[in-house]
Amino acid sequence: MKRRFTKMHGCGNDYVYFDCMEQKFPEPEKNAVWISDRHRGVGGDGIILICPSEVADAKMRIFNIDGSEGRMCGNGIRCVGKFLYDKGIVHKTELAVETLSGVKRLSLQVEDGAVTSVTVDMGPAELVPEKIPVHLPGERAVGAPLEVDGETYAVTCVSMGNPHCVVFCGDPDAVELEKLGPRFEYHPAFPERVNTEFVSVEDSHTLHMRVWERGSGETMACGTGACASVVAAVLNGHCPKDKDVTVRLRGGDLSIRYTDRTVWMTGEAKIAFEGEIEL
Ligand SMILES: N[C@H](CCC[C@H](N)C(=O)O)C(=O)O
């Protein structure tokens, strides 16, 4: 069966998108693995299905490179907003997209009839350890000691609908991510695995971040991870609340604002190319 796809990315965090508004997608957990393969498939950090919803304009389902289903994807949801508007599926710039972590509201910025960037109300940051989930004591894990591979790290754990472990360090580019990333991802403290961000503080409104994503490895950017990093920076006294913080990622910049009610994320959404595969 031939199936059209749209390759999109936000700051280089690239997924293969499928319009499932009228046609289901078969075995996403299995097909995500070969489609994401950068040598044998289309190539990407996973696949994203755009499906009908009874409570929003559409429903987003995201599958990582290893076929595991993510509960939320920040870069992905911005591209879903772009897809819905640019393809004429919706004709408005204020949208709602259903995810496994609830309905998120999007504001689309449009230039010459196409979406260039999107602001997402990501919902409130979750800090209670058992809701992240992480097996650490106390009401929240902020700068908590965690031994990983014989070293003790100060970790701040946040859920943005998916689990994150933020580690502040001097130089994220000096971290041996290929070695350390999986040690955090599969650490027994994280019963559902974890996305891990290594972050340096450039100034009170600028962070530099690299990420090892659960199920996908290092990616060029992580929207939920950028949100978690700003939340962690505020909780650790590096950045102010209620102000825009720029997160510099390998693939580009995101603007994040952490408030008591919610976390706001603004960033690009781009189409790279379209094509067709045989399923
Ligand atoms: N790997 C993540 C899903 C993708 C999140 C990331 N790409 C983003 O932009 O938020 C997880 O399994 O929780």
Residue 38: CATH number of its domain = 3.10.310.10
Helix runs in the chain, H state only? 28-36, 74-86, 177-185, 223-235
Q: Of 7, 162, 181, nearest to 74 (Cα)?
A: 162
Q: Are residues 13 and 115 in the same domain?
A: yes
73 in catalytic set: yes
- Atom number of ligand 1 nearest to Cα 226: 10
Residue 275 to residue 208: CA distance in whole angstroms? 34
Which ligand 1 atom lies nearest to the CA of residue 10?
Answer: 9
- The position carrying tokens 């209620």 is 242
Distance from Cα 66 to the centre of ligand 1, integer Å: 12
Q: How far apart are the first and last CA of the chain?
A: 5
Q: Is residue 198 located within the same domain as residue 254?
A: yes
Nearest CA-CA partner of 265 in 57, 123, 119:
119
Overall average pLDDT of the 244-262 stretch: 98
Predicted confidence at residue 244, as pLDDT, reads 98
pTM over the 0.90 mark? yes
Q: From the candidates 51, 73, 157, 227, which is the catalytic residue?
A: 73
* Total structural domains within the chain: 2
Question: Looking at the structure, do residues 256 and 210 belong to the same domain, yes or no?
Answer: yes
Would you state the pLDDT for residue 223? 98
Tell whether 174 and 110 lie within a shared domain.
Answer: no
87 and 176, same domain (yes or no): no
For 118-168, what is each residue's pLDDT tens digit?
A: 999 999 999 999 999 999 999 999 999 999 999 999 999 999 999 999 999
pLDDT band at 261 (very low <50, low <70, confident <90, very high): very high
Residue type, 87: K
Q: What is the mean pLDDT of the chain?
A: 98
For the chain, percent of residues with pLDDT exceeding 70: 100
Residue 170 near residue 159 (C-beta atoms within 8 A): no
Ligand 1 contact via 161 beta carbon (within 6 Å): no
Active site residue 227: no
Distance 187 CA to ligand 1 centre (A): 18
Q: pLDDT, tens digit, for every residue of 34-93?
A: 999 999 999 999 999 999 999 999 999 999 999 999 999 999 999 999 999 999 999 999
7-37 pLDDT per residue, tens: 999 999 999 999 999 999 999 999 999 999 9
What percent of the chain has pLDDT above 90? Answer: 100
Within this chain, do residues 113 and 149 fall inside the same structural domain, yes or no? no
Q: Is the same domain home to 44 and 88?
A: yes
* pLDDT confidence band for 226 (50 / 70 / 90): very high
Question: What is residue 167's predicted lDDT score, i.e. its pLDDT?
Answer: 98
State the residue range of the domain holding 31. 2-121+267-278
DSSP secondary structure string for all residues of 1-26: -EEEEEEEEETTEEEEEEE-SSS--S
| pLDDT at residue 59, rounded to an integer | 98
Q: What is the mean pLDDT of residues 259-263?
A: 96
